[in-house]
Structure 1
Amino acid sequence: MTPDDQALDRLRRAARDLGRDLALGRSDALARVRATAPKPKGTPLKHADFLHVIAREEGFASWPALKASVEMRGMDAAARLQRLKIAIAHGQTHVIDRILEDAPDLADGEFGLELALYRRDAVARALEADPGMATRLIGLAPPLVHLCQSRMIHHWPDKRNDMLAIAEMLRLRGADLDFGPPAEKGSAHRLSPLYFALGHAGNLVLAEWLLDHGATPNDNESLYHATELGHRDGLRLLLSHGADPKGTNALLRAMDFGDVEAVAMLLEAGADPNEGSDGRPAHGMAHGACPALHQAARRMGDDRMAELLLAAGARPEATWNGISAYAYARVYGNAALAARLEGLGVDRSLAADEALLAAAAEGAVPGGRFLDPARLPEDFRTLPRQILNQPGRLPHLKALIAVGLEWDRPDSEGLTLVRVAGWEGLPEIMAWVLSLKPDLGHVNQYGGTLLTTIIHGSENCPQRAERDHVACARLALEEGVALPRKAISFAGEPAMAAFLDGWAEAHPGAVVEHGPI
């Protein structure tokens, strides 16, 4: 038996052991399966499901992908190559540097990686030998997307010309500048190369090249995600190329960050502040989109934001799902907006549940009064999840829980309050939620555990620079959450990786060999 056969045999045995442990009712086995192979309740699991779990824990999308890679390259090379792919996908530049320093030829002949690493000469040779590679899918995505989703331009700005030369090679050989992979499995909506360049990679150079060469700015993704970049250059770029904000939710997303200037830019470009209000067409806007004044109430928009929206024609009396912007302002604790609306003569009446939620926002909850959460609209039922990332909200959160709102109910994405606090990197909030004894074994719909959600937040939360995800990870581990060994090396944020490595050394008994990453 070759070493590779032995490696695959070891992985198959691990899958059989997992199935045995699950049959014996071991909680760690159940957690691993729930995290990587979720199935409807009551559906029997097969050996193939356990193989899938093992493959995911090794960093591969499926068992066939793991098996094929091992058979082609050997176990060690396959694992290292897969780690490189994940590092590139997540922009983990220090991991990429380390892997390529140890194995500089690892990506040779891997066309998708050569694109992402801006290897101009290698791409040119591959396309000269086979021009069809310019349009042939690599996995689910065309080659141009592999180039666009790379974040290496921030690490290697000197390779700008190589990156653009590769884009031009692909274009000249037929690459579609608007064609990308499905947004999710089975979806008809596709994510464009422009979305990956701008919204995913923050690569304004490549985004401008795409737009200058005819890519459509109206892909129903890019404008929305341009509001998340921490600057307005991407927004200006798209609007200057004719992006239409109607139906994109970009206006509401800019308000998530309190970005008055971005809101002004979008309104000037034609965003409708009343879009989504009751009785008004939403122009294809995503489910859950509300009028702008309601959003201002939810996101604690200040006087400047309110005046901007009102000047653009926002209707103070507009309702959303039968609820007024005034009621939203009172329920969310936006006293300034509530006062502004009162001054405009809006109806100030509140339903009984709204009045109790407003009292909680003001810190004046009457004793002995409670809500039935099932009676509330979803936006009010998930109020704790929505406000916890706003400064100074802990007293408000405590008041909401005191009147009966749920603190451990998963939202539409399977996220519970403690996971949202961890992803946001808010240790004070997370410590309070942990004191309520939430379900630490819950897995969200993406397969994320509490620890992996915190790790993901350390790399992707828009406010991560000012938050403390390491402190949140420490809280989770101190509560007894297990640390999968592979999670240490798969953590892409250097401070988080260093902390997990140190924790593992100091607490070897908390480290498990298997688990989601």
Structure 2
Amino acid sequence: MARPKAPSFDHLRRDAKTLRRLYDARDPGALTRLRMYPPRADPGHLKHADFLHVIAREQGFESWPKLKLAVETVGMDRAAKQQRLKIALYQGQGWVVEHLLSETPDLADGLFGLACALYDIDAVEAALARDPSLAVQAFGPRRPILHLAFSRWIKQRPELAPQMIAVAEALLAAGADVNDGYPVSPGSDHLLSALYGAIGHADNMVLGRWLLEHGADPNDGEALYHATELGHHEGLKLLLAHGADPHGTNALLRAMDFDDVAAVRLLLTHGAKADDYNDAEVGGEQPWVVPALHQAARRGSGPEMVKLLLENDADPGRVWKGATAYGFARVFGHAMLAREIEARGGAVPLSREETLLARAADGEESPGAFIDPERLPPAYRDIIRDIVHLPDRLGQVQRLVALGVEYDRPDGTGVTPVQAAGWCGLPGMMAYLMGQRPDLAHVNDYGGTLLGTILHGSENNPDRAEGDYRTCLELALEAGVALPRRAIEMAGREDLAAFLADWAEAHPGQVV
């Protein structure tokens, strides 16, 4: 597939003027673009510079001044390729990296952050010999050790592991900090550490072990949680062996998302507790905090997981957001868990709303009965979003919709049920939800549209191998969602990039 030619600088300036005109006219596409890349100014007082900022973000740059500097330094086409290379290394899009470097072998020359991310030890040592302070300078939002840690190049070129460690050693010798991190969002105090980058983001156990052996803090607030997503336990074991404390974290709940009994047992052995949170936390500002048995119910945990939790003091009597553990088990269709709670004397009467929801979970219709969503306890408001990814739940979703349950309600991160189905690569569920006419222009809190969420899932969903992302993309495009040129270029899977390019050629009016 030919890579789209980078637009000229003057063309981007004209794009910013056009975007402002369309935004002022309340054009839906323009509104969506500003929701994806929100300007810093008040929406009612946007200036030309704010629209230039959006254009720069769409091109992969942090700001218009940084785009302008890059273009003035190396030219538009080369600057665009360099940004694409940075993103491909971060996202693990190995075929894109290979293509860019075969097309332009010197593309990373003179860029210290990229040299680190590519494990180019010769370039790194030569640059540090000229200027050791490069090891602690920021290149974009990250310093060099973070470019190294967040690079997924190791997946494409595992034979470069010795060079990668040599780069780490050179950076450390020049003053880099193994506990370096960068803000999760501008102005945030929460940092994403180098250790999280290596273990949780890049699944790079070689570098993760090196960082821990050189003093990286295993309790960085991210690495342990994301180590549960890797499909293996090497990262978990590595972190726990170096003193990671799971008590009070959400790592156990995340391991339960995958019904990973071995991971949960490991975490419990090292200090996690099945019910680890007080009522203030459960009802407060942390939507991810869920008591263990409620989590087991909504994730469809197997018998071994339920037995393990109950053996480790999970409380059958806990109430979360207005829902008992027993009611939650019944509503989410977890009959085995409900029976276990009954056996421990924890069964409680169901409300009218819970009874109707439980009937839907049990496969029973309730003709003529309807639920006022406003009367549902908060724990049940997102039930469709909570179950769309589970096996064989389409019938339950259909019965819930028939009862009047909200089928397009965004969760705490702004992700709607249809977006969740797309992220999981579930065309059957996605097609049904699209038939209910949800808001296909919705942008979630990550800046993701429906199309972008499908593409993100195709690269980042731990269960992506089982998903049918091509059909999901086709469903979205057939429904008329816009196809940004940027999406074609940024697609990390070669088959999906080719599919989008073919669609763009056949439907040029849909490309924005």
Partner of 1:341: 341
Partner of 2:191: 190
Measure how far apart 1:151 and its partner are: 0.7
Partner of 1:150: 151
Please say if residues 441 and 449 of structure 1, whose CA atoms lie closer than 8 Å, have aligned partners that are also in contact: yes
Partner of 2:453: 453
Task: Report 1:83-122 matches (<5 A).
Answer: 83-122=84-123
Identical counterparts, % of pairs: 54
> Is the alpha carbon distance of 1:185 and 1:109 closer, same or farther for their aligned partners in structure 2, counting shifts above 3 Å?
same
1:288 & 1:8 partners in 2: Cα distance?
43
Partner of 1:327: 327
> Helix, strand or coil: the match of 2:305?
helix
Counterpart code for 2:46: L
Measure how far apart 1:405 and its partner are: 1.3
Task: Report 1:291-306 matches (<5 A).
Answer: 291-306=291-306
Measure how far apart 1:392 and its partner are: 0.2
> Is the alpha carbon distance of 1:72 and 1:19 closer, same or farther for their aligned partners in structure 2, counting shifts above 3 Å?
same
Measure how far apart 1:14 and its partner are: 2.0
With 35-44 and 14-23 compared, the bigger mean Cα shift is at 35-44
Partner of 1:14: 15
Please say if residues 218 and 242 of structure 2, whose CA atoms lie closer than 8 Å, have aligned partners that are also in contact: yes
2:483 & 2:140 partners in 1: Cα distance?
31
Task: Report 1:209-228 matches (<5 A).
Answer: 209-228=210-229
Please say if residues 249 and 286 of structure 1, whose CA atoms lie closer than 8 Å, have aligned partners that are also in contact: no
Measure how far apart 1:91 and its partner are: 1.0
What per-residue deviation string (whole Å, max 9, x for no partner) do you get for residues 373-403 of structure 1? 2333333101111110000000111111111
Partner of 1:490: 490
Counterpart code for 1:143: P
TM-score using structure 2 length = 0.94
1:18 & 1:317 partners in 2: Cα distance?
55
TM-score using structure 1 length = 0.93
What per-residue deviation string (whole Å, max 9, x for no partner) do you get for residues 30-54 of structure 1? 3333332368996233212221222
With 478-487 and 229-238 compared, the bigger mean Cα shift is at 478-487
Measure how far apart 1:505 and its partner are: 2.5
Runs (5+) with no aligned partner, structure 2: 1-6
- 2:474 is equivalent to residue 510 of structure 1: no
CA RMSD of aligned residues (A): 2.0
Please say if residues 218 and 244 of structure 2, whose CA atoms lie closer than 8 Å, have aligned partners that are also in contact: yes
Task: Report 1:334-483 matches (<5 A).
Answer: 334-483=334-483
Partner of 1:130: 131
With 341-350 and 7-16 compared, the bigger mean Cα shift is at 7-16
1:253 & 1:232 partners in 2: Cα distance?
13
1:320 & 1:144 partners in 2: Cα distance?
42
What per-residue deviation string (whole Å, max 9, x for no partner) do you get for residues 46-87 of structure 1? 212221222223222221121111111111111111111111
What per-residue deviation string (whole Å, max 9, x for no partner) do you get for residues 424-476 of structure 1? 11000010011111122222223222111111111111111110111100001
Task: Report 1:191-270 matches (<5 A).
Answer: 191-270=192-271
> Is the alpha carbon distance of 1:268 and 1:93 closer, same or farther for their aligned partners in structure 2, counting shifts above 3 Å?
same
* Residue correspondences, number: 505
Please say if residues 17 and 48 of structure 2, whose CA atoms lie closer than 8 Å, have aligned partners that are also in contact: yes
1:287 & 1:364 partners in 2: Cα distance?
30
Runs (5+) with no aligned partner, structure 1: 1-5, 513-517
> Helix, strand or coil: the match of 2:481?
coil
Counterpart code for 1:402: A
Counterpart code for 2:49: A
Measure how far apart 1:480 and its partner are: 1.2
Counterpart code for 1:177: V
Counterpart code for 2:143: P
1:34 & 1:262 partners in 2: Cα distance?
37
Partner of 1:3: none
Please say if residues 247 and 286 of structure 1, whose CA atoms lie closer than 8 Å, have aligned partners that are also in contact: no
What per-residue deviation string (whole Å, max 9, x for no partner) do you get for residues 99-132 of structure 1? 1111111111101100000000111111121112
